[in-house]
Amino acid sequence: MSLTNKVDELPADLVIGLVSVSDRASGGVYEDKGIPALQVWLQSAITTPFRVETRLIPDDRASIERTLVELVDTARCHLVLTTGGTGPARRDVTPEATLAIGTKEMPGFGEQMRQISLQFVPTAILSRQTAVIRETEDHAALVMNLPGQPKSIKETLEGLKDADGKSIVGGIFAAVPYCIDLIGGPYMETNPDVCKAFRPKSALRPANKE
């Protein structure tokens, strides 16, 4: 399913894939909450026009691998975010599928996600989120595993702030736009009130006034 972000309804060069991995949600037992939570957060955080490709699939490694490959190689996503299937249970195989389709592992994203979640629960160490770059001959994408709960999704992407708005623990999304730059993707700008993207001064471009 393809959706277009409402930012000025401009043509979107940036394509983001959202994958919810859940046996019960994909089987219609209950409504998926992962993809809607991701869409709401991304629309609040990204000011660059973007298009979204969504997939709701079961906890099956072959299905996950096939979906991730299709989103990067065929749908030409620059960023793919998965939610669900990252725990220690036997059916949780999202990290294995992600690592299998990647050409470069990016472990820092998973390390920071666990650091954020550990502020709330000691069982955060059971989470196995990771990230990879998938490269083809003429395209590349960042693929990241996120937690399954909407609250945790927001926390890991955005980070934690105190009552005065001062950062306590940085969110992972601040590093995403520059990573997309480095792999040849479109220049992504963010809303600093939600998540301020970090780039070295040499990588900054003038703000888009259009």
Q: What is the pLDDT of residues 41-53, one digit of tens each?
A: 999 999 999 999 9
Output the pLDDT for position 48: 96
Across the chain, mean pLDDT equals: 91
Q: Tell me the per-residue pLDDT of 91-149, one tens digit each, with 9 for 90 and over.
A: 999 999 999 999 999 999 999 999 999 999 999 999 999 999 999 999 999 999 999 89
Output the pLDDT for position 186: 97
Q: Band of the pLDDT at 12, cuts 50, 70, 90?
A: low
pLDDT over 70 for what percent of the chain?
Answer: 92
The overall pTM is greater than 0.85? yes
Q: Is 10 or 121 the better-scoring residue by pLDDT?
A: 121
Architecture of domain 2-203: 3-Layer(aba) Sandwich (3.40)
Q: C-alpha distances in angstroms, 66 versus 57, 111, 112? A: 10, 26, 27
The Cα 98–Cα 83 span in angstroms is: 12
Q: Tell me the per-residue pLDDT of 152-165, one tens digit each, with 9 for 90 and over.
A: 999 999 998 777 77
